Structure 1
Amino acid sequence: MAKKPEKNVGAPPWMVTFADLMALLLTMFVLLLSFSTMDVDRYKKIAGAMSESFGLSALTRLSGMIEVEGFFTGKHIKQVAPKAAISIDLPDVIGETPMENEALEALPDEMSEDQMADEAIQENLRRVLASELEGKQISIEESGDQTIITFTDEIAFPAGSERLAETFLPTMDKLISVLAEAEGQIIVAGHTDDRPISTARFRSNWDLSTARAVSVVHQILKSGKIAPERVTAQGYADSRPLVANDSPENRALNRRVEISIRKR
């Protein structure tokens, strides 16, 4: 009996053609790549833009800070950005510089110096006006950034007049000696009660209160110890009473002149 011819075992014919095609395509891509030029700077810019868009640069900037109750501190933590990022220790407060540190450290000293100056002014006033304070003719108080000296019209002016009483001039001299040593603006404000006034000299309490403030300013400047640009005169009539104008005693308290020393 004749034997059947054996079949050839191997890849199908189309496989050879496919392999040749793949080899040719690979060769073509290699040649194209070898002919092209690489723009390194351009690729760096593209890579940087991509990193920033994914938030990596923000992580880099914040990598040296820890947020505690809304404030960033300078505690150092490990970098969470790529290897190219650099870990930096930041100051205790964002934006804090040595110059700002010095300013902050000097602030309490400046405040204490201002407070000491205010206390010195008040101490001098209480010393030179001891008798007037004891007789409750004058009062001294601190209000915010100013020291206020208040005296009633009964000791400073004749009734219905803006002229300083001769008996009050020695007290004014004492006041002026302290004002000359103090720093800041000097504001003289006149006040009246609510009883209307209308005379040939004063049309209303506005005229009277302003005229009395001006008389005090003139006496201050007459001494020659205080520069005119430091002094201001104001008149408020009955618009700013200390107490209700419901009795003779209260009206007497509201008829007054206030000298304020403003340091700031």
Structure 2
Amino acid sequence: MSDDDGPAGSPAWMATFADLMSLLMCFFVLLLSFAEMDVQKFKQIAGSMKVAFGVQNEFELEDIPKGTSVVATEFSPGETSDTIVDTIQQVTDQTTDPSLRVGEGELEDSEAEELLQQKITALLAETEADADKLKDMLEDEVQTGKVDVESDGRTITVRIREQGSFPSGSATLNTDFVPVMARIREALTEIPGTISIEGHTDSTPLRGGRYESNWGLSSSRALSVTHELLREGLLKDDRMMVVGFADTRPFTFNDTVEGRASNRRVEIVIRQGIEDAEESELKSIRDINPDALDILGIE
């Protein structure tokens, strides 16, 4: 090494300068990180520059738009509107007190009427099917005239004629009729609904004998049929009701022998109404169609 060569390494001021540049760079980076950009103003400036310089974005037809900016700039928002959902939903404030109402928008009167009519038709069809089942199970008794089965609305009536079932003026079932009662009892186990056993007589007053009036005879006959139905425990007691009508509800006129014979009967009336419906629901049904409950045979 010659005497003209300086000391090895960079000059001393270079280290100070490098430190100063590093600090300045960090300072401006921090300033940039703290800065906030006004996006709206930036778009306005960019738009003005685009118009001034004639710059226009071009999108290829084959290119699939990506992101949200294309949607925001190329499409205008549409007006929103409520959608009415015509569905029946069960709504209630208490889990033990259910009720039925129209959810997500109320139905028009015509639509509610149509839904109600469909429900009535379905209920009537169920009762008619149960009546046909009873007729099939009691086919022999129906053909021999001992029993009649008919339906009206949500009510099925099994009519037991006096002929062959009770001796004249007596409430004791004939022994030959007990097997018929057994078949009726078995048939009723497959048919839902409350059961009313209703006794009827003709208008001929009773003279002497065990019963003072037709009220006692009709009630006793209904009670005898009820005891026979409850035998063997196939039917529940809480389904039963016993009623005696005497001659107050004749089946036909009492001015002929045949008419009086038809009026002497015991009817097993099965009512399948709407036991689960609340009073408010029945009121709403009446409001929609005042004749609906009459059609169903519900009091």
**4+ aligned runs moved over 4 Å, structure 1:** 86-93, 104-113
CA deviations 1:115-168 (Å, max 9, x no partner) are 343233212211121122112222111122200011211121011110111111
Whether contact under 8 Å (2:197, 2:243) holds in the other structure is yes
Instruction: Determine helix, strand or coil for the equivalent of 1:155.
Output: coil
Q: Any residues of structure 2 matched to 1:1-264 within 5 Å, and which?
A: 89=82, 91=84, 97-98=103-104, 111=120, 114-264=123-273
Instruction: Determine helix, strand or coil for the equivalent of 1:181.
Output: coil
1:96, distance to aligned residue in structure 2 (A): 5.1
Q: What's the counterpart of residue 13 of structure 1?
A: none
Give the residue type in structure 1 aligned to 2:167: P
Task: Work out the CA distance in 2 between the residues paired with 1:163 and 1:188.
Answer: 15
Q: 1:247 to 1:223 in 2, by over 3 A?
A: same
Task: Work out the CA distance in 1 between the residues paired with 2:102 and 2:163.
Answer: 57
Give the residue type in structure 2 aligned to 1:138: V
Instruction: Determine helix, strand or coil for the equivalent of 1:261.
Output: strand
Whether contact under 8 Å (1:221, 1:228) holds in the other structure is yes
Whether contact under 8 Å (1:152, 1:253) holds in the other structure is yes
Q: 1:222 to 1:108 in 2, by over 3 A?
A: same
Give the residue type in structure 2 aligned to 1:174: R
Task: Work out the CA distance in 2 between the residues paired with 1:99 and 1:225.
Answer: 47
Task: Work out the CA distance in 1 between the residues paired with 2:154 and 2:260.
Answer: 28
TM-score calculated relative to the size of structure 1:
0.59
Give the residue type in structure 2 aligned to 1:97: G
Task: Work out the CA distance in 1 between the residues paired with 2:134 and 2:84.
Answer: 47
TM-score calculated relative to the size of structure 2:
0.53
Structure 1 unaligned runs (5+)?
Answer: 1-85
Q: 1:204 to 1:99 in 2, by over 3 A?
A: farther
Instruction: Determine helix, strand or coil for the equivalent of 1:131.
Output: helix
Instruction: Determine helix, strand or coil for the equivalent of 2:163.
Output: helix
Task: Work out the CA distance in 1 between the residues paired with 2:248 and 2:241.
Answer: 19
Q: What's the counterpart of residue 22 of structure 1?
A: none
1:235, distance to aligned residue in structure 2 (A): 0.4
Instruction: Determine helix, strand or coil for the equivalent of 1:154.
Output: coil
CA deviations 1:17-56 (Å, max 9, x no partner) are xxxxxxxxxxxxxxxxxxxxxxxxxxxxxxxxxxxxxxxx
CA deviations 1:189-215 (Å, max 9, x no partner) are 000001111435211000000000000
Q: What's the counterpart of residue 30 of structure 1?
A: none
Give the residue type in structure 1 aligned to 2:254: N
Task: Work out the CA distance in 1 between the residues paired with 2:261 and 2:131.
Answer: 25
Instruction: Determine helix, strand or coil for the equivalent of 1:219.
Output: helix
Whether contact under 8 Å (1:209, 1:236) holds in the other structure is yes
Instruction: Determine helix, strand or coil for the equivalent of 2:131.
Output: helix
Task: Work out the CA distance in 1 between the residues paired with 2:239 and 2:124.
Answer: 21
Structure 2 unaligned runs (5+)?
Answer: 1-78, 87-100, 274-299
Task: Work out the CA distance in 1 between the residues paired with 2:178 and 2:188.
Answer: 15
Task: Work out the CA distance in 2 between the residues paired with 1:87 and 1:184.
Answer: 50
Whether contact under 8 Å (1:187, 1:232) holds in the other structure is yes
Taking only the aligned residue pairs, the percentage that are identical comes to: 34
Task: Work out the CA distance in 1 between the residues paired with 2:229 and 2:130.
Answer: 17
